[in-house]
Amino acid sequence: MIFTRRLRETLEGIGTRAGITFAARLPDGSEFVAGQGAPAFTADFHTRGALLGVLARGHMGFVEGYFNQTIDVEGDLGAALAAGMVSRFDQSGGLNALENRLHEWRHSNRDPGRAKDNARAHYGLGTPFYKLWLDEALMMYTCGYWPEGTRTLEEAQRNKVDHVCRKIQLRQGERFIDIGCGFGGFMFRAHEACGATGVGLNAATEQVDWLRDEIERRGLGASLQVREADFREVDGPYDKVVSIGTLEHAGRDQIPEVVRAHADFLKPGGLGLLHFIGHVGRFETELFIRKHVFPGGWIPCLADVIVEMERSGLEVIDIENLRRHYAPTLDAWAERFEARWDAIHALDPKRFDERFRRIWRTYLIGCAEMFRSANGYTHLFQIVFSKGNVTRSNYPMSRAHLYER
């Protein structure tokens, strides 16, 4: 009885703070509605353990109950996750903070071998898996660029690569390095559109093996290569440096050395771009995302990144916040993931089981709501930088070149 009363008080508080009406169904079959009007979703608690988990660990108890199928969500999962964020229910729980510290101790990227294992845990799920729901042409697994008139995920990802190429003034005959190159989408598009040659750096063996074969299949071995290595292993210098969605995997204590490596990859006077998810202010990275999706991952503070860039002799030329562009990207991924789940499950029924589906639904849908949130502190930054100060002769005096077609 006390669990039921406390849970009801907790859930009603969430509904009030979030301004979202929802229903709850308890293990004894009783139901109640938090808020006024038609519920956006129903949280169905199947066991007393699920109730205790929510009371003891807040949102982590809720999402892990959902993963374990002791809690079901009927209706709009995005509304359920948004309610937790807006009401700050996702920031509750001393037990979660303790577990987050334990996770850092066990999975820190301080050791390159552990960093490689962490990368493979997520990016080593296999190209057939990612191919089912990423954009078809480039298979970019990072935020797209959705200026007015953009209609599809494919357009948004091509827009993003072209936007980056314009930002770093990539030209024919130049040689670039793509740090954390994924499936090579930037490399292929940069070579096609700009005539540049380059090297991709990647720690995930599975992606490297696929990309090597793909480069060979396309007959581009003389122009593009891929190297399996930690992104602290510098072999530069290069004319241009691109890092798209890699800094988040550096780890909590590795930001200084990874930023320094970006500088070491670059020739004096060269240009680079750092594209990363970052916090405005210093915050702990969400336990759910580290424990269940990106082991070892860490979302850095924008100010800390800029300080390390200055210490490494890099001039910050431009900073663009693309936070609003990530929600439609994640929406598109989530929609395709849902539509193609049967095909994903068929790839490996043991690996891609119902628990996996629920974790990834929560990850994709929840992150979309996080980037859509009006009061969030997680953003998506693109920083253009140079090694040493630029001059009037080697970089435009305005941003007009960014919007030329």
In the prediction, which pLDDT does 1 show? 58
Return the C-alpha torsion angle 373, 42, 73, 95, nearest 10.
70
In the prediction, which pLDDT does 15 show? 74
CB count in 10 Å sphere of residue 311: 12
pTM of the model: 0.94
Phi, psi of 224 (to 5 degrees): -130, 140
Q: Are strands 31-34 and 22-25 parallel, antiparallel or unpaired?
A: antiparallel
Q: How far apart are CA 394 and CA 302, in angstroms?
A: 26
In the prediction, which pLDDT does 90 show? 62
pLDDT category at 107 given cuts 50, 70, 90 is: confident
Q: Which residue has the higher pLDDT, 56 or 138?
A: 138
Model pLDDT for residues 274-316, shown as the tens digit of each residue: 999 999 999 888 889 999 999 888 999 999 999 999 999 999 9
| Fold type of domain 2-92 | Nonspecific Lipid-transfer Protein; Chain A (3.30.1050)
In the prediction, which pLDDT does 92 show? 59
In the prediction, which pLDDT does 225 show? 97
Select the CATH number that applies to the domain covering 112-403 from these four: 3.30.10.20, 3.50.40.10, 3.40.50.620, 3.40.50.150: 3.40.50.150
In the prediction, which pLDDT does 42 show? 93
In the prediction, which pLDDT does 137 show? 95
Average pLDDT over residues 330-350: 98
Burial 64-99 (b: 16+ CB within 10 A, else e): bbbbeebbebeebbbbbbbbbbbbebbebbeebeeb
Model pLDDT for residues 111-129, shown as the tens digit of each residue: 788 888 888 889 999 999 9
The distance of Cα 49 from the centroid of its chain, to the nearest Å, equals 31
The number of residues making up the chain comes to 405
Chain mean pLDDT for the chain: 91
Q: How far apart are CA 267 and CA 244, in angstroms?
A: 19
- Listed by start position, the domains of the chain span 2-92, 112-403
Tell me the two tokens of residue 267.
Answer: 């020739």
Q: How far apart are CA 89 and CA 18, in angstroms?
A: 10
Q: Which residue has the higher pLDDT, 351 or 95?
A: 351
In the prediction, which pLDDT does 209 show? 95
